[in-house]
């Protein structure tokens, strides 16, 4: 696996750097330089057209807005404040803050309009029963309907969105497009890299970003579309050139409650908002989706599909070569620098997306060879005689895919450092603990963004899964302190082993309570490797 990516860590931020904070993230929103003011009556007409019901207008309909935002504190003068009901609070309760920041108008729901801060607002108020659904189309109009001039290729699915989006961005560029990227790690365009607050931004931030991309001459954007975004209508008002589905497995059941509910959220990307669909049919959910959406199909596991892979050769150095077989007898050689059968699927999805957008498949396929993804199968190498890998696997299917891949590639043992996030799906914890114990030789159960939960209780749930699994084979150690766990794993490694630190990937911080403590798995693995090479005082292998 000598060629596993050794990319530098993503640019760091100190707060609100990934999705998942109780406090609104306050992201670095990329805004267009020019926005033509939009009148309230025009917004009302757009909302009526998009939702089928007209909003009430309280106040002067000729007032115009020059942007929109749903975080009161982040309002820029002249913008529309979207005061939405939330799981914790009603945004209308923050209207005074928004007005102080210069909000020129408010969009809210019938509950919000009764709140005192809105009643005293003194600016026009649009009232709609589905204010969240209204916000996407309104934001699109405010920012000049940017996706009419930008081909957006959206990727959804439980695993592989980030990886597929990076592959797609590279393929699009190789086929001659001027590209952008929107996703979990960062937003990229024209050499700018802005760390992300969300995998999929809120509707006004997203439309502003699309408008900025149009201004910059971006022609095609590869974009991750999360299930949260689909169910919260963050992509309302977005026209997709292509919508793609990678796979579905248990995750986010705290939010979607059932797999059916989770699937239906993902399926929203295929409800007519995309001009073309690409679906990987390697799981039963993909099969189901492909039968109800008119889709180009993809399979990396030998299912009948429009795009398949033949002659897959996983090389010892971590690269893979194969032939992508496409419609009309297309046969394209592909080289990937990402190991794992799942990355063949990701690449096929990316290829099918680019082709569905009308780009030349041979040029698309040639774009994959150098792609590396921050924190996904990222190798950390200081010349040690074993492999050290940082990966973002933080759900059962990803842990299984990751460890199965690494078992097949290493010559020695697999040493795994893994935790589970707090304030997230609890059901996955014992499953991830069990999988780690089944597919590794040594495991350190540690902390991964405990957020507001008791970290020991999260570890206990994982340990419970590890201890009760009949197939468990690893020696499992509990070590809450992630740095110590990483150091112990590195110190225990022997030549030919694989050490994998999973779950945080590119993340630059550990979320403990309301704080984000700077922490980078890549930096920690580097530091541990350097000190093992020079300092023999590191704790002994617990095995």
Ligand X SMILES: N[C@H](CCC[C@H](N)C(=O)O)C(=O)O
Distances (CA, A) of 74 to 30, 69, 409: 13, 7, 48
**Of 232, 256, 249, whose CA–CA distance to 70 is shortest?**
232
Which of Mg ion, ligand UAG, ligand X, none does 220 bind, CB closer than 5 to 8 A by kind?
none
Residue closer to ligand UAG by CB (options 106, 314) is 106
Within 10-49, the residues that bind ligand UAG by CB under 6 A are: 19-21, 24-25
The mark string for 173-202 relative to ligand ATP (x by CB under 6 A, - otherwise) is: -----------x--------------x---
Which residue from 188, 379, 394, 487 is in contact with ligand X, where contact means CB under 6 A?
Answer: 394
Q: How far is the CB of 23 from ligand UAG (least distance, A)?
A: 7
Q: Is 184 annotated as a binding residue?
A: no
Give the nearest residue (CB) to ligand UAG.
Answer: 86
For residue 23, with 0-12 CB atoms within 10 Å meaning exposed, 13-18 middle and 19 or more buried, which class applies? exposed
CA 505 to chain centre: 12
Which residue from 3, 12, 15, 19 is in contact with ligand X, where contact means CB under 6 A?
Answer: 19
Which of ligand ATP, ligand X, ligand UAG, none does 246 bind, CB closer than 5 to 8 A by kind?
ligand ATP
Q: Is 157 annotated as a binding residue?
A: yes
Give the nearest residue (CB) to ligand X.
Answer: 421
Is 20 an interacting residue with respect to ligand X (CB under 6 A)?
A: yes
Is 413 an interacting residue with respect to ligand X (CB under 6 A)?
A: no
Phi first, then psi: give them for residue 421, nearest 5 degrees: -70, 145
CA gyration radius for the chain?
A: 24
**H-helix or E-strand containing 82?**
strand 80-83
Give the Cα separation of 511 and 102 in Å (integer). 32
Query: What are the residues whose beta carbons fall under 8 Å from the beta carbon of 275, sequence distance 6 or more?
Result: 239, 240, 241, 242
Q: How far is the CB of 248 from ligand UAG (least distance, A)?
A: 12
For residue 148, with 0-12 CB atoms within 10 Å meaning exposed, 13-18 middle and 19 or more buried, which class applies? exposed
Residue closer to ligand X by CB (options 150, 197) is 197
Is 78 an interacting residue with respect to ligand UAG (CB under 6 A)?
A: no
Q: Is 129 helix (H, G, I), strand (E, B) or coil?
A: coil
Give the Cα separation of 349 and 371 in Å (integer). 15
Q: How far is the CB of 14 from ligand UAG (least distance, A)?
A: 17
By the criterion CB under 6 A, which residues form the site for ligand X?
19-20, 199, 394, 421, 424, 448-449, 503-504, 507
Annotated binding site: 70, 157-163, 199-200, 226, 232, 234, 424, 448-451, 503, 507
By the criterion CB under 5 A, which residues form the site for Mg ion?
161-162, 184, 224
């Amino acid at each position: 696996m000598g060629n596993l990516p050794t990319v530098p860590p993503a640019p760091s931020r100190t707060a609100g750097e990934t999705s998942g904070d109780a406090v609104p993230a306050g992201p670095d929103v990329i805004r267009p330089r020019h926005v033509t003011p939009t009148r309230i009556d025009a917004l009302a007409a757009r909302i009526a057209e998009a939702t089928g019901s007209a909003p009430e207008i309280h106040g002067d309909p000729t007032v115009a807005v020059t942007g929109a935002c749903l975080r009161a504190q982040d309002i820029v003068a002249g913008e529309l404040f979207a005061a939405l009901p939330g799981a914790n609070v009603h945004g209308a309760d923050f209207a005074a803050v928004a007005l102080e920041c210069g909000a020129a108008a408010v969009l809210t729901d019938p509950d919000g309009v009764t709140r005192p801060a809105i009643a005293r607002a003194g600016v026009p108020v649009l009232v709609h029963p589905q204010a969240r659904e209204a916000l996407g189309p309104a934001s699109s109009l405010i920012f000049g309907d940017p996706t009419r001039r930008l081909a957006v290729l959206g990727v959804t699915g439980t695993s592989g969105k980030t990886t597929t989006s990076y592959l797609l961005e590279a393929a699009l560029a190789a086929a001659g497009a001027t590209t952008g990227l929107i996703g979990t790690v960062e937003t990229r365009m024209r050499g700018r890299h802005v760390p992300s607050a969300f995998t999929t931004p809120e509707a006004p931030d997203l439309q502003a970003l699309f408008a900025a991309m149009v201004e910059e001459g971006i022609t095609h954007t590869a974009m991750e579309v999360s299930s949260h975004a689909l169910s919260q209508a963050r992509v309302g008002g977005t026209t997709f050139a292509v919508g793609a589905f990678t796979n579905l497995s248990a995750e986010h059941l705290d939010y979607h409650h059932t797999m059916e509910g989770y699937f239906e959220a993902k399926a929203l990307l295929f409800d007519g908002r995309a001009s073309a669909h690409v679906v990987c049919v390697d799981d039963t959910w993909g099969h189901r989706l492909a039968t109800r959406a008119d889709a180009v199909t993809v399979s990396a596991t030998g299912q009948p599909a429009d795009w398949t892979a033949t002659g897959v050769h996983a090389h010892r150095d971590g690269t893979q070569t194969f032939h992508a077989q496409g419609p009309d007898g297309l046969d394209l050689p592909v080289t990937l620098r990402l190991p794992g059968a799942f990355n063949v699927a990701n690449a096929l999805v990316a290829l099918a997306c680019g082709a569905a957008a009308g780009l030349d498949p041979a040029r698309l396929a040639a774009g994959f060879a150098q792609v590396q993804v921050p924190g996904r199968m990222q190798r950390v190498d200081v010349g040690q005689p074993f492999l050290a890998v940082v990966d973002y696997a933080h759900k059962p299917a990803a842990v299984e895919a990751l460890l199965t891949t690494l078992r097949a590639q290493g010559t020695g043992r697999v040493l795994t450092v893994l935790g589970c996030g707090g304030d997230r799906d609890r059901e996955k914890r014992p499953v991830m603990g069990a999988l780690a114990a089944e597919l590794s030789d040594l495991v350190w159960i540690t902390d991964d963004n405990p957020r507001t939960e008791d970290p020991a209780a999260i570890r206990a749930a994982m340990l419970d899964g590890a201890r009760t699994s009949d197939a468990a084979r690893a020696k499992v150690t509990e070590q809450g302190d992630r740095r110590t766990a990483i150091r112990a794993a590195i110190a225990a490694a022997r030549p030919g082993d694989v050490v994998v630190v999973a779950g945080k990937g590119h993340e630059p911080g550990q979320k403990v309570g309301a704080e984000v403590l700077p922490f980078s798995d890549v930096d920690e693995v580097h530091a541990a490797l350097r000190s093992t090479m020079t300092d023999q005082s590191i704790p002994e292998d617990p095995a």
